[in-house]
Amino acid sequence: MNKVLTIALGLWLTCVFSGSAMANSDIVTASDHEAILEIAKGFGSAELSQTAKGAPIIKGRMDGTKYAIWFSGCTDGKNCSALQFICIWKSNDFSLEQINTWNAQKMYTRAYIDRDSDLILEMDIFMRYGMSKKNLDEVFDLWQTSVKHFSQQLSQKTQPN
């Protein structure tokens, strides 16, 4: 009887430890550039490169709109703590009232006009301790939806009457 209990306990512990190892392998941090790139590719074209200062950056296209993901809080391009999703439009067709309305109605993204008069849409994601691949996939889905809605509002504004 003791042998059966010992074997059963051993099997149970094996399952518990292998289950937590599998759960940990599902966690992605902002330093997992390739894993984030693979998720980005599921939403359109994407490539991983570096800025002139050596910081990692993903440049991609979703539904015809260019975007970038900046890895921030990094030390020498590693040990990153956050992602910043960003789209830039060379357009001044959005009024400050429209931008304020967008920002008041949207929870995760923000829009603004930068010092070069470019229209910016951003979304910051803190990931120092990581998130599951499934949650990160949802972040990309949220970004895609936000970019699509913002682009639609921009194109409606700029269409000739």
pLDDT tens, position by position, 45-100: 999 999 888 889 999 999 999 999 999 998 888 889 999 999 999 876 788 898 99
Residue 32 near residue 128, CB atoms below 8 Å? no
Which residue, chain included where needed, has tokens 């999703």? 85
Residue 18, in any domain of the structure: no
Residue 103, in any domain of the structure: yes
Residue 68, in any domain of the structure: yes
Residue 22, in any domain of the structure: no
Residue 16, in any domain of the structure: no
C-alpha dist (Å) from residue 44 to 59, 71, 99: 11, 19, 26
Domain that holds residue 88: 28-158
Residue 38, in any domain of the structure: yes
pLDDT tens, position by position, 103-138: 999 999 999 999 988 999 999 999 989 999 999 999
Residue 111, in any domain of the structure: yes
CATH number at residue 54: 3.30.1460.70
Residue 54, in any domain of the structure: yes
